[in-house]
A and B are shown apart, each in its own frame.
Chain A
């Protein structure tokens, strides 16, 4: 009997907990709005993960984790597109492109990131099929779920805080006019630089997040740290009109009557 439900009613951390305690082997598919993820487990441990928004091939994963250059990635895509991950991994190790440890750590980072992303989904139809394993050409790992559950829950709390701080990604960013600060002198990570390079009043944060291919949590964390450091500020994107200010609701119609009413209020409050 398949385990079916919705993350709205049974959270991802509850699901992981169940899979871990019951030492289940199988594959969990989660279908959300415009996104999907597949995670496989072996004896209650995470063995494989992929999401619908990214190229999940080994070469693409190694590119994202910066173990391959764009050029190396392109060569592999051109010449070895039909090769499975296991075979490709062996070829890359043998040709000294990467080490075995680098492949394993890149895959672990990718799988854990996919799992962590699921903690932030408020809704999603899930189905766990017992004993369904990833395709044999994929490289499987065995990652304990306890740390993922703890880290995911912590990230969820942080995400809630970041959503409070950045309620809408429809706004844009611009560099603050702070003459004492030169962004070139600030130590930024590669991902932070990637975001910084797209900061422009024409680009909404949503567009930057999409272009930089960062997940929402990573992106919000970077933007929040840039704002906290006083390097950037949130502005309305160019070309988007601000909401028109609303004249307060008053029980009289004409402008003169409205002003008269407010002046009566002012006179009364002054006299209190």
Chain B
């Protein structure tokens, strides 16, 4: 059996767990805990180790999706998770500009660990306060060649689109 993995990363509460849940064929093995820090009490629980989803491709190929912990104190997990990955998705909550700087830091860190292909998703585009993706591109200082995809992690088509765009980038990298 061949296995490949992709990593889903992004700041706290950017929608990583939901993204994986939406396409995983198994219940996501989420390692969530109640949040102890008042400053991070936007939601009740957060991922402390990693989320783990699976998509079986055929009899001898499985794609695993790993979600990184969102809280900064678990950054040490990133290097382990990025080892051997096919590519990565950086989730950004479009309605919380206060997390954009953190998103850039995460993106730079992952690029340093492994210069593999990646896409950035402007998640929660269904929320009324969501920023336009092109405004986010400027705020996140993404160059024009970086794929920034509008996304709603609860919508399967939207998540599929993000994964497909990442796979297209991987194919392009192989051709170049």
The chain A residues found within 8 Å of chain B, CB to CB, are 164-165, 167, 243-252, 255, 258-259, 261-266, 268-270, 272
Contact = CB atoms under 8 A, between A and B. Distances in A.
A264 B115 contact: no
A221 to B, nearest CB: 16
A99 to B, nearest CB: 45
Interface residues of B, number: 32
A250 B86 contact: yes
The B interface is mostly helix, strand or loop, or mixed, namely: mixed
B48 interface: no
Given A259-B174, A262-B174, A264-B58, A251 B2 contact: yes
B170 A248 contact: yes
Please indicate which of the listed interface residues A167, A246, A262, A269 has the most CB atoms of chain B within 10 Å of its own CB: A269
Contact of A248 (B105, B116, B156): B116
B4 A265 contact: yes
B130 interface: no
Interface of B: 2-4, 23, 55-58, 61, 63, 84-87, 101, 105, 108, 114-117, 156, 160, 163-164, 167-168, 170-171, 173-174, 176
A220 to B, nearest CB: 15
Contacts of A272: 23, 55, 156, 160
Contacts of B156: 272
Contact of A245 (B86, B171, B173): B173
B173 A248 contact: yes
A18 to B, nearest CB: 29
Contacts of B105: 164, 167
A247 B173 contact: yes
A270 B164 contact: yes
Contacts of A252: 2
Contact of A251 (B3, B23, B163): B3
Nearest to B58: A264
Contacts of A263: 171
Contacts of A251: 2-4
A266 B156 CA distance: 15
Nearest to A243: B115
B164 A268 contact: no
Nearest to A242: B115
Contacts of B57: 264-265, 268
A231 to B, nearest CB: 14
B171 A165 contact: no
B58 A165 contact: no
Contacts of A247: 173-174
Given A245-B173, A245-B176, A247-B174, 10 more contacts: A247-B173, A249-B85, A249-B116, A252-B2, A262-B174, A264-B58, A265-B63, A266-B171, A269-B55, A272-B55
29 contacts: A165-B101, A167-B105, A244-B115, A245-B176, A246-B115, A246-B116, A247-B173, A247-B174, A248-B86, A248-B87, A248-B116, A248-B170, A249-B85, A250-B4, A251-B2, A252-B2, A261-B61, A264-B57, A265-B4, A265-B61, A265-B63, A265-B167, A266-B164, A268-B57, A268-B63, A269-B23, A269-B55, A269-B160, A272-B55
A244 B111 CA distance: 12
A176 to B, nearest CB: 12
Nearest to B109: A167
A199 B140 CA distance: 23
A219 to B, nearest CB: 20
A255 B116 contact: no
Nearest to A245: B115
B164 A249 contact: no
A21 B31 CA distance: 47
Contacts of A248: 85-87, 116-117, 170, 173
